[in-house]
Structure 1
Amino acid sequence: MNVTEKNIDFNVESIRKDFPILRREVNGKPLVYFDNAATSQTPQQVIDVIVDYYSNYNANIHRGVHSLSQEATDAYELARQKIQTHFNAAQPHEIIFTSGTTHGINLVANGFTSLLNEKDELIVSALEHHSNIVPWQMLCERTGAKLHVIPMNQNGDLDLSEYDKLLGPNTKLVFVNHISNALGTINPIKEIINKAHTVGAAVLVDGAQSCPHIKPDVQDLDVDFYVCSAHKICGPTGIGMLYGKEKWLKTLPPYQGGGEMIAEVTFKKTSYADLPHKFEAGTPNVCGGIAFGAALDYMNAIGFDAIANYENELLDYATKLLLEIEGVKIYGTAKKKTSVISFNVGNIHPYDIGTLLDKMGIAVRTGHHCAQPIMDYYQIPGTIRASFMFYNTREEIDYFISSLKKAVLMLS
């Protein structure tokens, strides 16, 4: 597929040709990759960008006057502008390159250490990944602030009436994921943000699971911080972004010290660089940043509306077939959800099913998916999670269902 042209007709077979890994076998079987919520696969177009960087203009950025450094700097900063455009940030310097979602959350949590005290309150949702829980617990330990939790219900939705009760004059920060990695629930983040702002609280949204499926508009959401990882969006691992409103990024102190994030250094005092470099200490993942921009180019060429429509069809199809299997219980049945299905079959341990499916060439995730509080809520050790992307097919789902039936029969 040519990523420079808008692909009006969604053709999954044409798209699949862009992903070399989909042509390999696992345990003698064609690979069926249903672990996309953990890491998506990378198209040849993005791989080519990575190879081109290391083959032709690998150099450190911002500091060199030589041609390779200038070329690398231009490509890296162009990628920042692509990310700004994609998320509709007001300024390119509101986009901070990070190593991923977790890094972005920790950057913000560290910055608020000097801004909070024991009278302050933070709110997190019950649907969070550990990466959007632990840094805030650590922040509370450092500052004495108190952490409250928006409860969930059996469907996997948040109880916003309880959220209303938690909000108050002492609420300083609210943290919620856009989409649950464990259940696929799409949270009403715009409503959550608006309510937080009425009491003067800032909001950080974990967009790791939303960005592969939808196109967030940070200005429309009026969100204060938004974080994501490129490896969920057909890009490489080890690179992500933090969007922050300019006023907040200017308020927070630097997260790390070193080269690049300084304006002037003496042994008496150091002054810091302007945004975004204030938060980008050291040599960055130059190639990763450039490839991140290329991955967004690729997905935008397909179109996020087309992606969402197709993935919803896969979700509905797989859900219907799964529920026809005796003993299957799906966790996370919210009306608004994305292409993630977490389920168990009777009393069979999810790990056992996952192991047998791997023997048949099918990659699914088993366990608590770094969302142990959700599993504790349902009183289960974990689930089998099948997560779909726009390069998956109904035929793969058919094979998955037939293989699952075989695995259940073997384990019963």
Structure 2
Amino acid sequence: MHIDQQSDPPEPLLSPEPVQTAAPSGRSARLLRRLGGAARSSLADTTPLREHPHYRRLWLGQSVSSIGQQMTALAVSVQVYALTRSAFATGLIGLCSLVPLVAFGLYGGAMADRMDRRTLGLLGASGAAVLSVVLATQALLGLHAVGLLYGVVALQSVCFALNAPARSSMIPRLVPPEQLPAANALNSVGMTLGLTVGPMLGGLAIGLWGFQAAYLFDAVAFTASLYAMWRLPSMRPEASASGKRASVLDGLRFLRDRPNLRMTFLADIAAMVFGMPRALFPVLAATLYGGGAGTVGLLTAAPAVGALAGALFSGWVVRVHRQGLATSLAVTAWGLAIAGFGLVHQLWLGLLLLAAAGAADTVSMIFRNTMMQAAAPDDMRGRLQGVFIVVVAGGPRLGDFESGLVAQLSTPSISAASGGLACLASLLLLLARYPSFLRYDSRAPTP
């Protein structure tokens, strides 16, 4: 039988075979190409990194220094809890950084509209690097001074308040207008990369070599940001059309008559003040999950992992025009995830909910940034960025204090769950006060 099959002429049987298999293969290839194209279109656009060296260096420098900053933030939190064994004392770190951040954040934004932004950024980054050396020194000497830690945290906020508005105001000068959305998405990727990698490396460094290792890494990491700033050209702000000197009050007055733009800040305040459980991570790691610094690192990194995923796959946001509604839905998702985190007792499930919250926060940030950029004139950029820094960075720190206080009066789990629900209630009240926010359309932006 086998010999007979070989002796038969194969041509008539074989000739149609390629035709039958070619069509499905071609359809599969086209389907794969379409899927690949869809996947690529959903990823963050890297054109600003490829085409603009100044922006690329600034992005890389900020991404590296962000890792060090998050290592320091984790180390300070764990060190204060190790010295005091108090959730309230740990939450007080947020209050110590909040006051100077609010005061100097608004002033730093005004300075970014007055002086060379490159010089201002260098001053802020240099001061932060020196403060990291101070933290490393106190850890090496074993001073065990909680007051010193609080003081350094406050000074770090001053440096951040001077550096961040200046750095953010530079971006429109480094890339063309059509690439600003891509640059902002990449900035979010760099920031969330630091939030993801920093706490994990911080927990590992503390466990292996002590607090001083995290602080020293932070000091070294700042050299990347300093180098990027040093290579920039002069970045003096453009003169305002009115010819008036930049004033902090002008930025606040501008927001007073722009309800939709003001709502972008208020929605984020509701999410961060009531729904930020970060100060609870050390005590939850020790009491609920039975872990140490490594568990704190996982809890701190989980929202950043979700935020990084949201930033990496943010290509779809360009097709959304109802940006006020999208922001509201994202804040709602954040509040629900945080409330769920307070109710569960399994570590893996808590990490999953924190990651979901982080992804929702990134979506909210992308839309809020887009709305601000569409409505703000160039000569207000530094001051509004100062307000933005105060809200984005100051809100979580006030949230640290709020969650620590509620945990002291009740339990850490109740603090997290009630915070998520309070976030939802606050958002509903704000939407009732500013219903036009839900109707905001990017095709006809109304500030």
If the TM-score is normalised by the length of the shorter chain, which range does it land in? under 0.3
| Higher share of residues assigned helix | 2
Q: Which structure is richer in relative contact order (CA contacts within 8 A, separation 6 or more)?
A: 2
The structure carrying a bigger strand percent of its residues is: 1
Which is greater in Rg?
2
